[in-house]
Structure formats: structure tokens, C-alpha cells
Amino acid sequence: MNEFSQTSDEELVKIFRAGDEKAFNALYARYYQKLFKLIYYYVSDTDLVEDVLHNVFIRVFRHVHTFNPQKSFSAWIYQIAVNCSKNELKKRRRNDDLVRQAALVISEKDEAEPSPEDIILTRHDIQAFSEAVNSLKDRFRDVFLLRFDQKMKYSDIAAVLKCSERTAKWRMKRAVENIALFLSDRGII
Amino acid sequence: MHDDIIRQAVSAVSKGRPETVHTRKLSALLERTEVSAPAPELHPRYALQRIKTAAAGDTIRLSPLDMLRRYGKVSIPAFVIVAIAVGLTWHLMSIPAMNSVITAVEGKVQVFQGGLLSETHSPIPLQEGAVITTETGSGISLETGTGSGGKISVQAGEKSRFVLSRAAISQGKMYFTLTLEKGSVVLHVNRLSAGDSVMVRAADSMAEVKGTVFGVAVMENGETVYEVLQGKIRMSRRIPDGVTLNSEITDRIKSELMNQSVILEEKQSCRIRETISLYRSMTRENYTARIEKIQRPRIKKTPVQEMILGLAMTSPWEKPFPAIVTNRIEKSSVPTRQQTFREKTAGLLSVDKIEPSSFIMYSRYGDFLIVAGSNGYLSAAGSGGMQWDLDLKRSIRTKPLLMVEAMYVGSEDGTIISLDILKGSLRWQKQIFPSPDRTVKLAGDGDSVYILSNRGMVLRLKKDGTEIWRNSLGEEPVALIVTQHMVFVPGKSGIMVGFDKRKGIKVFKRQFDTKITTAARGDSRIYLLTDTGAVICYDFRNDEKLWTLDLHERSHASMQVDNGYLYTFSTAGRINKISNQGEILWSSQVRNAISRDPVFDERRVYILCDQSFYVLKKENGLIVWSMVSPPVLTGNITLSENNIYFAARKKGVVILKK
């Protein structure tokens, strides 16, 4: 897969369409973890996440010829993942299965130790932040997670959630406001 | 990254509030935290394989845990066996695997492989470690090539479960091991090389073979029955799975059990009782006494079919079990629905002067058969004997067109001849093409005859021979498709031209990217087969390419549409049934090359190969019956209500019961 490390997603799609299955493997490796996490936002059951992820890649595998390489592949695949996750949730709810949207747990990244100048985040702070995120309405939570956790561009978020870029930005702003309000009420900030 | 947003949020939150909002903390929370998600349980490589397998076929996606969840009744040991089988598959991935393929399926059959449980209705390749389960009234056939030109055919009966434990070639030797957990299997093994190993393992016994046909059944009381139909097997007991003994005892017992091994010959059988209780609490002190209780297997002369075939061949004639297809059917002693020529022959019609590559047609109008010899000799014969004969003294290479009361014959010299079917008299003949053009296709639509030449000239003639129009494709054609308003002629280079039916004007032209080898029409669609083995479905009403399906097989003999379904026939013997959405509904394999156009009736497909004949169910592709035929002369077969007709060397016209 290293041979494709410098290749863009869209280029990989073209290569895969041309018949090189290794390109699909590379795309898969690139998005496997990210999508797993994205689907986990919606579906809390790990087994279910894997099933949904499986569906997402099958759709990609089967419908990759419909993808327009002029557009962002990540937005396309994220859109599929979000749709599949929402469909799965709907299906489960219809069947009265005990499936709830995941109550997300937020934790401190373990990549870097904070310096003495940095604000020290206590476990209490992070727990409250988790609660604040979980208390968001779905439409705000979706945008917030795509931006905050997946580091997506607003244009891609807009494409994934089928809204305008402006709406995506507005929802993000509202999400942060609500979180700030939530944390402020609890004396965290 | 979040600065703007945070500033805005802070200002919004600060409005009307006396507290100071700690912006740096909010920023830290946004920058230095992330959603924790559990790590995926499936290894990415494993998950990727599942996706590709599922995307390639119609499978149900179930992980081993899903399987346990869904099939709560699956016992833990069975689940462990499945897990071991899957593990074994992964472990042995470095060993080159042989090509094992399910060739026919009857009823509900489940295959668990690569972490997927699929309910298979069509032929699929099998991996090592695959677990195959058949339910009541179901059956399955699979084949594995031996790497030396031979093959192993396995036929499993209903309510069976077996594991394809090993199917690999290592250091030039072939290893095939099938573990039968319950039910029955019949193996047909041929052409093994020295050192090849074919083994069937049951609970506490096993059989090694060297080119034979034999069956193994695990009975409900735990007994295992072996039965040899042809050749020999060495049958021996083994220490049951799950028994753990110390190594010294194990070696001694193995040696003892091997000493007790017996050779089963043709039409002999052997029944092995379960011995697992003897191994419980076995110690160094008591093992000798216990082993003595295990008696040498007793060989019985059991009539063939009594036990194994009774189990494996549960399906009656009308509900056939998938047939084992062999290279030489008459040599197979497996009594599937392979019919002898004598059994199926309803009669032979002696017709003189039948030439190779003749054409045979059944006329409902005259209720007789017409044989058109490639040398131009035509004869018609019915139940009352010979009706008429006529020698055109012209070479015929194109199947004549049979219309209600007339027959049209296109000869090699560019002449079209119209005959009266009932009398066999010449109605008219006309030179339509100058040499070197010759007729390659004939089609009719009730009041006209359409003729296509080898160089792409298209003609429309009235039934009385008057020419209405002619036009040229301009290149070598592959098919002649007559629709309600158009005549389509695809060319080999990938061009397809549509001629207006009334005036013959070219009103349509479309270029496909690939070369076309043959074409067929179904409703408003034209199916084009490309030289790369892909089928293109083209909607001629809307001028739209609907789908392309790659069959990965270049050598196609024929493509036909029946009842809205497309059937493709390859010279390698593969038959595919394809829906009008471009999905392969089933795929079946016959052993011999298909070189003639098969024919259909309401329920079945009739396929005539050079020396064999196959009848398949249209519904599921299973071989209903097959037989070895005498060397075939005719370039086609024809059907009447109850019979099948073709001409064979030294036999004349062969009439088979359907």
C-alpha cells in the first residue's frame, strides 16, 4: 500500500476503476479507522459499527463508478457512511431494538503532554465536555463532530450533511455556543 | 482552528452574564480532546476480504459472532470448529490453494467461509476451511481440480455438514481433506498422481483414496458408514477430535489403529461405531485393555446404493439432485440421472445422406422433421416415414429459416431459395449476392425475409422473393436483429447500425468501445457480447446503454434470450443466466465444450455437445439429466412437444424423450 502513499483519494479511485484492486485496498486502509469512528458517533454497538462499515465499503466498491473524481472523495464516502449509519439507526428503531445513538465519551488526546503554560484539563472538565457534546441536538452534534473530531472542511461537511456551507458553519457556531453555555453553567469555564 | 468559532461562542455566552468565560479552557477542550471509540474488532485485512467477497456475490454478511447471535442454536463446539476452520484458512494462506468450486446447488445450502455465511444458489469458489451445510431436501456438488488434470467431485446429500479442511498443492503434491461432521458425501476421484493425498475424515475414522468413487455417511447414532462404488479406499479409525492423550499413548494408539486399517473394494461397505467413550479417562494403565475393545472394521458386501446413495440421492427423479458431471459419463458408476443412450432413445429415424454440420428443424405446421444437409440435400420425415426429399446441389452453411408454410434456404453461392414445406417443392430461387458474398443470417417477421451477408449487406425480401430494399453495414456483421420498426446489425468492430424497416435507410448508428462477437435481442433490449467477455445491455428504444456485465470468459459460443432472461454459453461449458438488471442469477458448468446453439422449452435448456447431451433446469441451472451421445452430426438440435431431435453418425436422426 505504500506505493499509493502520495496518491490522492481521487487518483486512487481512477486507478481502482482502471482495474487495480490495490487502489481500493489503499482507500480502505486510509478510511477504515476514520469511518469506524464516524459510524460510532451514531451507532454505539461495536459489532453494529463493523456491519455498517462493511456496508459502506460494499457500496463504495459497487458504486465507485458513479463517483465524480472532480469532487471530494472523502465527502462522498463520509456521506455514504452517515447515510448508512442513519439508515441503520432507523431500521433498529423501527424494529424496537434497544439501540440508542451513542453516548460519546470524550478523552484527552494522548499525543502530547501539556506544557506548564497550557491549561490543565481535569477529568471533571472532560467529563462535563462529553456531557455537553452529548446534550447537543443531532443536527448540531453532527456538524460539531465532523469538524471537531474528523477535522473536515466546512465544504465537505456541507456535502456530507446535504446542507449549505453557511448552514454548516452556523450549526458549528451554535454547537460551540451551546457547549460553552453548558460548561459555563457548571462553572467549568 | 477553532478561534473564530470560540470567540463568537464566547461572546454569545457572555451576553448578559456576569461570569467571565474561560476561553482558553474551552479552546483547550476543543483542541486537546477527541471522541474515544473502541478499536475495530475485525482485523482490517479480514474485514477487507469480507467486503470484497460480499461485493462480488450475493452473500449475507455475518461475522462469527453474528452467526452465533443469529443462529443461537449453533452449539459452541460447532462454533469452535467453524472458528478453527476459519483460522486454518488464514494459517494456510501461504500454501497455494486448489480451485474448489460449488458446481450445483439444490435447495437451501449454506456456505461459511472467510467470515461470511452465505446462502448459496449459484456456483461459487470455495476456500480452504469452508463449512458447507445442506438442509432437508437440499444437496450440493463441488469440484476440485487435482493440479494434474484430474478432479475430485464431491456430492453431499441433505442434512449434511462438512468442512473443506484442505485443498492445496504443496511441493507438487495435492492434498485434499474433507471432514464430514454429519450427513453423507459421495466422492468421485480421478486421475491422481503418485503422492497425492485425498482423505475424508469422519468423527473417529478416515478414508484415504487413490482414484475411486466412494461415499461416507455419518449416521444419526454416531456411526460412520463407508461404501465404495468403484476402485479402492484404505479405511482406518483415528483418535476422535477433541481427545487429548499423552504423546506416548497417542503414538501407540495411532499405530494400533493403522494396523487395523482395511481395504474396501468395489461394492463393499464398512460401518464404524463411535468409540469416543473408550478414550474418556484413558490412562497409561488402562489403554491396552480399552484398545482391545476396538475391533477391526468389518467389511460387508453391501449392494451399491443401499446406504450412501440412499442418503445422498434423496431427491426423486422429478426433484433431481445435482448431477456429478464427468469427462466420460458412461464410465461413471455414480448412478445420478445420467441416462444411457438406449434409455432415452424414443426412436431412430434412418435418413440417408446426412452430412456433417447439417441443420435439423421440427415443423409444427407439417408435424415432421426437416434435415438440411450442408451439401444441399434436404429431407423431411415424420411418423408416416419420409415425406419428401430434394437435392438443391448447393452448399448450405446457414441454418434455414422456417416460417409457417415456407422454408428459406440461403446457399453459399449467394442464392436464396424458398421451398414449400408440405410438398418439398421449390417455390422460387434468386441470386441475391454476387460472389464472394454469402448468406450468414436469415430472419423473418411474418411477411418478409431479412437476409444478412458475410460482408454486411442487409436485404429485405417479400415472401414471394421481391426485393424491398438492400443496404450495407460496411463491415463484417455478427448478428441480424429484427424488431418492430428497425433492423439492427451489430458489426465485429463494435459498431451497431439500425436500418429503418420500411425503406432500409440507416437511421441509427452507435459505436461501442469494444469488439462485438455476438448479439441477442430481448424485448426492447439488445445484448451485445464483447470479445473481452462482457455483456452490454443496450436499450434500443431509449438509445441508452443500461449496464455492462463482465463474465470474465472470452470464449462464448452462444447467447440467447428466453422469457426476458439472458443465457450465455461458453465454449468452456459455462452457462450463465442473467436477469435484465444484469445480475447473474445462476451459473452452471458442463464438462464439455458447448459449440452449438442450445434450445429452450418452458422449463429446460437443452445443450448438445459433441458427444454428450445435457438438460438443465432454467429455474436454477441444475442438470436434470445428461448422457453420452453418439458422435453428433447436426449443427443444432430441435424440439417438439415431447422429443428432442438431432442427427448422429451411424444412427441417423436420433429422437430422445424429453
**Is A54 within 8 Å of B28 when comparing Cβ atoms?**
no
Taking CB atoms within 8 Å and a gap of at least 24, the contacts of B63-70 are B63/A47, B63/A50, B63/A51, B63/B115, B64/B115, B65/A47, B66/A47, B66/A51, B66/B117, B67/B112, B67/B117
What are the pLDDT digits (tens) for B233-246? 888 888 877 677 77
pLDDT of B67: 36
CA B29 – CA B393 distance, rounded (Å): 96
Structural domain contains residue B577: no
Residue percentage of chain B with pLDDT more than 90: 6
B512 Cα to chain A: minimum distance (Å): 18
A180 Cα to chain B: minimum distance (Å): 7
| Residues B440 and B307 placed together within one structural domain of the fold | no
- Report the chain B residue with the minimal C-alpha distance to residue A175: B9
The residue out of B511, B532, B563 marking a domain boundary is B511
Phi, then psi, of A71 in degrees rounded to 5:
-100, 175
Q: List all residues of chain A from 51 to 90 with a beta carbon under 8 Å from chain B.
A: 51, 53-55, 57-58, 61-62
Structural domain contains residue B333: no
| Residues B127 and B194 placed together within one structural domain of the fold | yes
What are the pLDDT digits (tens) for B383-395? 666 778 888 888 8
| Residues B23 and B106 placed together within one structural domain of the fold | no
**Is B30 within 8 Å of A54 when comparing Cβ atoms?**
no
What are the pLDDT digits (tens) for A78-121? 999 999 988 888 877 766 554 555 577 888 876 555 566 566 77
pLDDT of B311: 40
pLDDT of B337: 42
CA B255 – CA B271 distance, rounded (Å): 21
Instruction: Flag whether pLDDT at B71 surpasses 50.
Output: no
Structural domain contains residue B164: yes
Which ipTM score applies to this complex? 0.85
Phi, then psi, of B157 in degrees rounded to 5:
-85, -170
Q: Which residue in B26, B33, B65 is closest to A109 by CB distance?
A: B33
Structural domain contains residue B256: yes
| Residues B231 and B122 placed together within one structural domain of the fold | yes
B69 Cα to chain A: minimum distance (Å): 11
B546 Cα to chain A: minimum distance (Å): 14
Q: Which residue in B23, B25, B48 is closest to A188 by CB distance?
A: B25
CA B549 – CA B558 distance, rounded (Å): 16
**Is B32 within 8 Å of A58 when comparing Cβ atoms?**
no
pLDDT of B65: 37
| Residues B198 and B130 placed together within one structural domain of the fold | yes
The residue out of B511, B527, B544 marking a domain boundary is B511
Cell digits of residue A46: 461495536
Say how many CB pairs under 8 Å bridge A and B. Answer: 137
Residues 6+ apart with CB under 8 A from B146: B98, B152, B174, B176, B191, B192, B193, B196
Identity of residue B303: P
Helix axes A165-185, A123-134, angle to 10 degrees: 130
Q: Which residue in B22, B34, B51 is closest to A61 by CB distance?
A: B51
Q: List all residues of chain B from 62 to 121 with a beta carbon under 8 Å from chain A.
A: 63, 65-66
pLDDT of A158: 92
Band (pLDDT 50/70/90 cuts) for residue B78 is very low
**Is B13 within 8 Å of A177 when comparing Cβ atoms?**
yes
| Residues B155 and B222 placed together within one structural domain of the fold | yes
- Say which residue the cell 467413550 belongs to: B277
Domain span at B144: 56-312
Average pLDDT, chain B: 74
- Report the chain B residue with the minimal C-alpha distance to residue A146: B35
Low-confidence winner among B57-66, B94-103, B462-471 (lowest mean pLDDT)? B57-66
Q: Is A166 on the interface with B (CB under 8 A)?
A: no
Q: Is A48 on the interface with B (CB under 8 A)?
A: no
Q: Is B513 on the interface with A (CB under 8 A)?
A: no
Q: Which CATH code for domain A105-189?
A: 1.10.10.10
Mean pLDDT of B286-293: 78
| Residues B25 and B88 placed together within one structural domain of the fold | no
Q: What is the DSSP secondary structure assignment for residue B217, as one 8-state letter?
A: E
Mean pLDDT of B239-254: 77
B101 Cα to chain A: minimum distance (Å): 23
Cα separations (Å) of B99 from A7, B145, B394, B569, B574? 35, 6, 49, 21, 16
B4 Cα to chain A: minimum distance (Å): 9
Which one of 1.20.120.920, 3.40.50.300, 3.40.50.720, 1.10.1740.10 gives the CATH number of domain A1-102? 1.10.1740.10
pLDDT of B53: 59
What are the pLDDT digits (tens) for B130-162? 888 888 777 777 777 766 667 787 878 777 888
The residue out of B511, B534, B551 marking a domain boundary is B511
Domain residue limits, chain A: 1-102, 105-189
Residues 6+ apart with CB under 8 A from B509: B495, B496, B497, B498
Instruction: Flag whether pLDDT at B327 surpasses 60.
Output: no
Cα separations (Å) of B325 from B64, B206, B250? 34, 25, 41
Q: Which residue in B30, B47, B48 is closest to A148 by CB distance?
A: B30
Helix ranges, B138-264 (H)? 247-259
**Is B12 within 8 Å of A29 when comparing Cβ atoms?**
no
Instruction: Please report, for the domain that includes residue B486, its CATH number.
Output: 2.40.10.480
Q: Which residues of A touch B43 (CB under 8 A)?
A: none
pLDDT of B502: 84
**Is B35 within 8 Å of A32 when comparing Cβ atoms?**
no
The residue of B6, B8, B13 whose CB has the most chain A CBs within 10 angstroms, and thus the best one to mutate to test that interface, is B13
pLDDT of B63: 38
Q: Is B18 on the interface with A (CB under 8 A)?
A: no
Phi, then psi, of A157 in degrees rounded to 5:
-60, -45
Domains in chain B, number: 3
pLDDT of B458: 93
pLDDT of B73: 35
Mean pLDDT of A118-134: 83
**Is A176 within 8 Å of B2 when comparing Cβ atoms?**
yes
The residue of A27, A32, A54 whose CB has the most chain B CBs within 10 angstroms, and thus the best one to mutate to test that interface, is A54
pLDDT of B193: 72
CA A132 – CA A189 distance, rounded (Å): 12
A176 Cα to chain B: minimum distance (Å): 6
Say how many C-beta atoms besides its own lie within 10 A of residue B319's C-beta. Answer: 12
| Residues B134 and B255 placed together within one structural domain of the fold | yes
Q: Name which residue leads in pLDDT, B312 or B616.
A: B616
**Is B28 within 8 Å of A119 when comparing Cβ atoms?**
yes
